Structure 1
Amino acid sequence: MTDETRSSEPEVRDPQAPANVLAQPASQWTAFGSADADAINAPVVPPASGSRLGDTFSGLEAVSDADDTRGLRALGSLRGATANSLSNDDASDDIERGLARLDPLTVRPRTSSRVLCVILAVMMIALAFGAWWLGVRTEDGQAYEDMVFSGFKASLPGWASVAVTPFLKSIHTALAIPVNLTVVCSVVLAIIAVVVMIVRKRWWLIGQSAVFAVLCFAATFLKEVLPRPFIINTQSQSANSAPSGHTMLAAAAGVLLLAAVPRAWRAVAAIIAAAYAMIIGLSVIAGAWHRPSDVVMGFLLVGAIALLALACTRTSGMDEPGKRASSASVQIVGTVMITAGIICDLYAAYIIWQIEPGLSLSARWASGGAHVSTFCLIAGTAMLTFGVVLAMRQLTASPLTKLGLVGAPPAPPRR
């Protein structure tokens, strides 16, 4: 026993001399958190230009799943790369491959989204040829379209008549062929869309748009192939006129604009495209150039081709990783357009069912219902088509994932 008082605080013994470890590069630290003794007095070496990639990969590891190691190894292989040993193109390719392995949704949409695009496209094609069959291959269909053909312009509301009137006239220029305002406006919209794609560097989207335009142009030749049997005497021309080329041109220009703009403008572009396509569809009927089934078929074929193109979306055809987010405007506008389109089409079908007894007799009392149902049918099909394309464009261009929200690692800086 002793009366000596001992301190209750523990005694700390450091076997090494103190050193300024903060001045050392991170690469010289040991696993225990202390600096290597041989490198204490070594000069500080500036980090290589590729070290910025390493910092980014560390951030990607923090948001990635813990059991996904193959993708992290693929990305981690770039940590030692510098601007001297790795070109920008090679780095971009390696980063894309690494991202595809770590998170495939950064470079391509979900498989379910692409399958849904194909299914909806097949449904639109079936509806397009179904509308053609009912309007061309049946007696009531030919009687209905002939009734609309004779007095549709006079039945339009005042605002609709004002909207379609400019498109009923041809513009005479130095060219031998008069130019219709529909062609001019559609070409302007298409040029704006291409310029936006180039400014945003959406090279894959430009390729998609080129294929889409070629397929739409090829679809117009169905007019020369599809038959139109003689069933009843009609005031309209006896030759087939489906699908409407002007309608397809206007709808295709609207689709290009919708696909080109960024997420914040997609809903606005869809509204503009649907309104423009609807006006052109009404104008070709008011001008006695096409029948209702021609316009409906044109809308649905363009929508189907657009969905098939969206099913092939990838890389630069999508929103950039790090800038992806859900869009309230797309959800609201897309839902309203699809719902309103279905309601208008169902209402048009109900009116046609009501006036069906008077079609074969060309009854005068049925003409009013035929005109109203045609207006609802054109407006509803335009809204339905662009509502579906709007929803699927957002779904394929901006799949939400962890890396899609954080963003891709930057490329090595140029020397």
Structure 2
Amino acid sequence: MVPQASPASAWSALETIADHPLRALGSPAPAARKRKAAAPDEHAADIDDEVAIERGLARRDPLTVRPRVSSRVLCAVFGVLMIAISFGAWWIAVRTEDGQSYEDMVFSGFHDSLPSWASALVAPFISRNITSIAGHPLNFTVIVSALLIVVAAVVMLVRKRWWLVGQSAVFAALCFASTYLKGVLPRPFIINTVSQPANSAPSGHTMLAVVAGVLLLFAVPRGCRAWMALVGAAYALVIGLSVIAGAWHRPVDVVMSLLLAGGFALLAMAFTRTSGMDAPGKRASSPSVQIVGTVMITAGVLCCCYAAYIMWQIEPGLSLSASWASVGAHVSTFAMIAGVSSLVFGMLLAMRQITASPLSRAGLVGAPPAPPKKKR
């Protein structure tokens, strides 16, 4: 005999079918199968979590994921200004009679005018090519710069600064592309010169040295930035002096390379965000950056002003190619390259700090201590 369902159980079955119409087609799937079908892809979940965390941090404090707007605007403005000044310097040196006469004075006797300590520094870099790879000559400048770039790349990868790696790649590509200006920019014939009549600006070796120094400055954490700025400025100065002492380049070639590379670096820093910045919990103001950056910028401006003053003093003798003007030309070239190197890396140091380590009002390393409340 078939057992008949009680009225209560029949009524509950009807309620279940009414609430879940698909139950009439069969029993529900096991819980384990449902969980497996509903589980999203783990990789997609990780990406969604990172995006959600970034959006949450941006809503809570935008400075955790991007620098201040004012900092990015400053980087863009100073970057464009440096690039414009580089082309202005090239125009004065190449398109005027005094400019060509000045550079020819420096080109013909700069090596002999260097002090002994400077000659010792540039000597390894003006030696002949050590070897060649695929038809490209390699000298000490290329080898040292390549090693510094590799060190900077390794530091970025170890620190997992993925966005910074992309920034650095774009910056290096811009610098490499700018070296092709050497075959594009004209050099009109105005006076007879000892140096080659073809255009030689910008200097590729100086550009490579600046790229190596800038990438090191980008890669290191906050505590090492001041040291890397000093190293980068000193290395760029030595390479800049060596290419002139070796009679490979004119002064404006070096100045143009320094300013172009500095401008491209500032433009790259204008797009800093997320992993291109310091970790939020490790951000703080840096006394070393403040002191070293201020000294480098001030010293750079003073050296450039001193070089400009000497150029103004010897200007009457340039058109005559007077021998008394050659000493001033050599001294002003040394001061100008030293000043531009110091100014460029001082600016990069300051801008790197404010874009990589912005502090919110409450402070990302803890709120400042508040004074005790007065008891009434």
TM tier, shorter chain?
A: 0.7 to 0.9
Partner residue, 1:130: 88
Residues 391-414 of structure 1 show CA distances to partners (whole Å, capped at 9, x for unaligned) of 00001000001363259xxxxxxx
**Deviation per CA, 1:232-278, whole angstroms, max 9, x where unpaired?**
00000000001111110100110000000000000000000000000
**1:274 counterpart residue number:** 233
Q: How much does 1:306 deviate?
A: 0.1
> What does the per-residue CA deviation read over 1:157-178, in whole Å, with 9 as the maximum and x for residues that have no partner?
1111000000001343374554
Q: 1:308 aligned to 2:267? A: yes
Tell me what 2:99 maps to.
141
Asked if structure 1 preserves the Cα contact closer than 8 Å seen for 2:132 and 2:138, the reply is no
Aligned to 1:257, which of 213, 216, 219? 216
Q: Distance in 1 between matches of 2:94 and 2:137?
A: 30
Residue 106 of structure 1 contacts residue 403 of structure 1 at CA under 8 Å; is this kept in 2? no
CA distance in 2, matches of 1:262, 1:299: 24
Match of residue 211 from structure 1 = 170
Which of 147, 153, 157 is 1:194 aligned to? 153
Distance in 2 of aligned mates of 1:346 and 1:306: 24
Q: Which runs of 5+ in 1 are unaligned?
A: 1-83, 408-415
**1:103, CA displacement in angstroms?**
0.7
Q: Determine the structure 2 residue equivalent to 1:385.
A: 344
Q: Is the CA contact (8 Å cut-off) linking 2:131 and 2:139 kept in structure 1? A: no
How many angstroms apart in 2 are the aligned matches of 1:106 and 1:215? Answer: 28
Measure, in 2, the Cα distance between the counterparts of 1:145 and 1:126: 20
Give me the whole-angstrom Cα distance separating, in 2, the residues matched to 1:403 and 1:187.
38
Alignment match, 1:111: 69
**Higher share of residues assigned helix:** 2
Structure 2: 5+ residue runs without aligned partners? Answer: 1-41, 368-376
Q: CA deviation at 1:197?
A: 0.2
Q: Measured at CA, do residues 177 and 206 of structure 1 come closer, stay the same or move farther in structure 2, by a change above 3 Å?
A: closer
How has the CA–CA distance of structure 1 residues 303 and 369 changed in structure 2, closer, same or farther, with 3 Å as cutoff? same
Structure 1 residue 405 corresponds to structure 2 residue 368: no
> Does the residue aligned with 1:280 lie in a helix, a strand or coil?
helix
Match for 1:160 among 110, 115, 118?
Answer: 118
The residue aligned with 2:108 is: 150
Is 1:346 the counterpart of 2:309 in the alignment? no
Cα root mean square deviation, aligned: 1.5
Runs (4+) of structure 1 moved beyond 6 Å? none
Q: Deviations over 1:330-387 (max 9, x none)?
A: 0000000000000000000000000000011110111100000000000000000000
Q: Secondary structure at the match of 2:280?
A: coil
- Deviation for aligned residue 1:95: 1.3
Match of 1:295 in 2: 254
- Residue 91 of structure 1: CA displacement? 2.5
Instruction: Supply the distance in 1 between the matched residues of 2:99 and 2:201 (Cα, whole angstroms).
Output: 14
Counterpart CA distance in 2 for 1:225 and 1:370 is 27
Q: Could you tell me which amino acid in structure 1 is paired with residue 304 of structure 2?
A: D
**What residue in structure 2 maps to residue 248 of structure 1?**
207
Kindly provide the amino acid, as one letter, of the partner of residue 159 in structure 2: R
Q: Percent identity?
A: 69
Q: TM-score, normalised by structure 1?
A: 0.76
CA positional deviation for 1:180: 1.1
**DSSP 3-state at the match of 2:200:** coil
Shift of 1:94: 1.2
For 2:266 and 2:45, locate their aligned partners in 1 and report how far apart those are by CA, in whole Å: 37
**Residue 94 (structure 1) aligns with:** 52
Structure 2 SS opposite 1:169: coil
CA distance in 2, matches of 1:174, 1:146: 30
Tell me the matched-pair count: 323
Deviation at 1:92, TM superposition (A): 2.5
Amino acid at match of 1:349: A
* 2:128 aligned residue: 170
Distance 1:116 1:290 in 2: 32
Aligned match of 1:5: none
Question: Residues of 1 paired with 2:61 and 2:117: CA distance?
Answer: 51
- d(CA) in 1 for partners of 2:227, 2:187: 39
User: Is 1:333 aligned to residue 295 of structure 2?
Assistant: no
For 1:262 and 1:225, locate their aligned partners in 2 and report how far apart those are by CA, in whole Å.
39
Task: Note if contact 1:321-1:406 (Cα within 8 Å) is conserved in structure 2.
Answer: no
1:394 equivalent to 2:353? Answer: yes
